[in-house]
Structure 1
Amino acid sequence: TLPDYMVPAAYVRLDAMPLTPNGKLNRDALPAPDGAAYASRGYVAPEGEVEQTIADIWADILRIDQVGRHDNFFELGGHSLMAIRAVNRLASVYPVNLSLRSLFERPTLGDQAAYIEARLATSLGEPHDYVEIDI
């Protein structure tokens, strides 16, 4: 059993693995996954300003056209470095301290938005100049 963030985001069926002349895996010859290779759920549009902002940030970082409220950041092709960028971008928009762990624990857009909204509701509005990264 793997945690959600370790499950492959895309699957590509190959007749054979591309090999180098020495018989090793030729990683450069592996095909890039197309849109159908990624796990997807039925698209449900983001609801509210926070969900739309998160969707826009994720779409930009992941280089995809749209992100629905039930989409999972990691299933859409995100990885830990992209997650750090997403958390930093969100922290620059919302006056709450966000941790990297929050994205790993709440990887769907709707859950991440609910978490941020809850933090905003309890925040004293104090300015911040860093992102807490606790793993």
Structure 2
Amino acid sequence: TASGVSMTADGLRSALSGIVPEYMVPHHIEFYETMPVSANGKIDRKTIIRDLNGKSCIVREEDLPQGELEIRIADIWKKILKIENISRNDDFFTAGGDSLSATRFVQTLQNENITSEPLPLRTLFSTPTIASISGYIENNNLWVAGCSEGNSFEEGTL
């Protein structure tokens, strides 16, 4: 490289594994000669996300969403973030989410009767992976297990 420093994806993953927890080490790493920038000179995250989503990222079997709740959350993320492959350890915001899409995600959980009450938006910021948000929902008894849109009961009816 121009700076005289070279790095491989495996080398970077190895260095990161000594610093951050395993679930935070990215499976796919893309190197750019120069970062794409928007018209106002800021890093163009949308271009980077589009480039990364265009690559075929393979999710390892052990990283696939596990259980009904994680699978349903993953399906919502795929729709909102417009991505095909997702790991249970992917970070919502690293995968392309922002505050607007986070709001849509929280609303969708409620609208599709996945949670029994509205999830505070700040929860997604503190538990940004499918595994962690699923754990939060289960640990706080918010999951409406086995219920899907259209088969839940309105209060006072049977």
Q: TM-score range by the shorter chain?
A: 0.5 to 0.7
In structure 2, C-alpha distance between the alignment counterparts of 1:118 and 1:107, rounded to whole Å: 16
Q: RMSD of the TM alignment (CA)? A: 4.0
Match of 2:141, SS state, is: helix
In structure 2, C-alpha distance between the alignment counterparts of 1:64 and 1:45, rounded to whole Å: 14
Specify every segment of 5 or more residues in structure 1 that has no aligned partner in the other structure, as ranges: 1-9, 129-135
1:57 aligns with 2:76: yes
Q: Deviations over 1:102-130 (max 9, x none)?
A: 0000001100001111222699xxx79xx
Equivalent in the alignment of 1:84: 103
CA contact (8 A) 1:96 1:120 kept: no
Match of 1:101, SS state, is: helix
Equivalent in the alignment of 1:32: 47
1:97 aligns with 2:112: no
Instruction: Count how many residue pairs are aligned between Structure 1 and Structure 2.
Output: 111
In structure 2, C-alpha distance between the alignment counterparts of 1:107 and 1:18, rounded to whole Å: 26
CA contact (8 A) 2:65 2:71 kept: yes
1:66 aligns with 2:85: yes
Q: How does 1:40-51 map to 2 (within 5 A)?
A: 43=60, 44-51=63-70
Give the counterpart letter for 1:110 in structure 2.
A
Q: Aligned residues: percent identity? A: 33
Give the counterpart letter for 2:94 in structure 1.
E
Specify every segment of 5 or more residues in structure 2 that has no aligned partner in the other structure, as ranges: 1-28, 145-153
Bigger relative CO (Cα 8 Å, ≥ 6 apart): 1
Q: Deviations over 1:10-31 (max 9, x none)?
A: 98735487798xxx74999x98
